[in-house]
Amino acid sequence: MDECCSGAASGDICVIVPTIREYECLREYVANAREHGFDVSRLHFVLVTEDFCDVEEMRVMLDDLDVSGDVFDGSRREEWYEANGVAEYDHVVPAASHAETSFGLLYMWADDSFEYGLFIDDDTLPHDDVDYFGRHMENLAFEGEIESVSSDENWVNVLYQNADEHGLYPRGYPYSAMDETVETDAVDVESGEVVASQGLWTNVPDLDAVRILMDGDLEGQAQTRTTAGDFGSDFVAARGNYLTVCSMNLAFRREVIPAFYQLPMDDNEWDVGRFDDIWSGVFLKRACDVLGKRIYNGGPLCEHNKAARSTFDDLHNEVAGLELNEHLWELVDDAGVDADDYAAVYDAMADRLADGEFDEYRNGAFFTHVGEHMRDWLDCLAALRRTPAVADD
């Protein structure tokens, strides 16, 4: 195996891919980078997978692609926690959950060479005509005038631009915030102000199970599809407005990691799932508003090819948290107002949840569970900074 594929990071962009099946999609992303002249040596791929998957085949693929990268199944993650002195925090990353992307954030935090992170879901592909990685980096470096979107419900539908035609609201958008009145304006963004770049999606839209059922689809995909024509100019959500943040196609600066924990889902006594990236986006947007930062939305688009599966299975995974999702943003909307960094804002939001009583909500105790895990997340990051990362052999 090439030296670059031995597990040692060689670039400044950590590409985190949670996968149990379609990892070959990375061949298309690497081909896109090379076709558009993006410097592939900047990329280090971290595949987060499970013990039952073919880890060796994933490593062979990285070798074939001649890219820097590593593969972590459950056993290898446990070894990494031990080697880096944070075994007591292994519970912050749930097993067999999309929220395993949080392991990639820990991996990044332990290595100062990474300035940027990028989440890619394994059921996506890049659009050939766009420099996928280059566009994300351009977004993070953006300065100038951009469209700012707000609504009278304090929520922005990231699919708002053609909503009159398709009527779609993305997964995680509160039902109580629908039928909003949208306003747009232009704002000036300074260099360094953009800390996250959310690329949106063509083909299968990212909807929750209730909305998919309303769209008449029993296979988890939605009958209504999106095309590049559904998206106009790039935009930001105005201060004080929240938005859904999907980790399917998302780049970010290293600095946000303390406030960007992908929440513990699926493996909990309340059976709450499917809101890991959505709730992390709520927290990140609150931190951005406090600190004067921005989340950039629009391109680069990816093609989302969600596999057919029972819509009712997704509904089962979501329903336990649907009511909580309606209220989470309200609970943290004024938290951390005097904070001066991401960790301080996040700590204030963690306190709001961990110390609160939420008996009025079905499964309200899950909020406390989340708040306690948010505290552990910050403690784990602090422990990683105190304990230098151990290089792989």
- 209-222, pLDDT tens digit by residue? 999 999 999 999 99
Out of 155-159, 169-173, 257-261, 267-271, least confident range = 267-271
Q: What is the pLDDT of residue 95?
A: 85
Quick check: is 392 in a domain? no
Residue 30 banded pLDDT, cuts 50, 70, 90? very high
Q: Is residue 1, in this structure, part of any structural domain at all?
A: no
Asked, for residue 171, whether it belongs to a domain, the answer is yes
Q: Is 147 within the bounds of a domain? A: yes
Q: What is the pLDDT of residues 290-313, one digit of tens each?
A: 999 999 999 999 999 999 999 999
Q: What is the pLDDT of residue 386?
A: 80
Helix axes of 365-386 and 342-354: crossing angle, nearest 10 degrees: 150
The count of structural domains within the chain is 1
Tokens of residue 392, six digits? 């792989």
Q: 141 exposed, middle or buried (CB, 10 Å; 0-12, 13-18, 19+)? A: exposed
In a domain, 195, yes or no: yes
The pTM assigned to this predicted structure is: 0.95
pLDDT category of residue 1 using cuts at 50, 70 and 90: very low
Asked if residue 50 is part of any domain, the answer here is yes
Distance CA 366, CA 354 (A): 9
Calculate what percentage of the chain has a pLDDT beyond 90. 92
Cβ distance 308 to 220 under 8 Å?
yes
Say what the pLDDT of residue 385 is.
84
Region 163-174 average pLDDT: 97
Q: Please report which confidence band the pLDDT of residue 346 belongs to, taking 50, 70 and 90 as the band edges.
A: very high
pLDDT for the residue numbered 390? 57
When pLDDT is averaged across residues 310-332 and rounded to a whole number, the result is 96
* Mean residue pLDDT across the chain: 95
pLDDT for residue 117 is more than 70: yes
| CA–CA dist 335, 38 (Å, integer) | 40
Is residue 78 scored above 60 in pLDDT?
yes
Residue 2 binned pLDDT confidence (cut-offs 50, 70, 90)? very low
pLDDT at 6: 41
Q: Kindly tell me if the per-residue pLDDT of 7 is higher than 60.
A: no
Which residue has tokens 């709520």? 282
pLDDT at 155: 98
Give residue 264's pLDDT band: very low, low, confident or very high (50, 70, 90): very high
Q: Is 290 helix (H, G, I), strand (E, B) or coil?
A: helix
Q: Which two tokens stand for residue 171?
A: 């997964």
Residue 393 lies in a domain: no
pLDDT at 393: 44
- For residue 132, tell me if it sits in a domain: yes
Looking at 96-100, 138-142, 167-171, 332-336, which range is the least confident one? 96-100
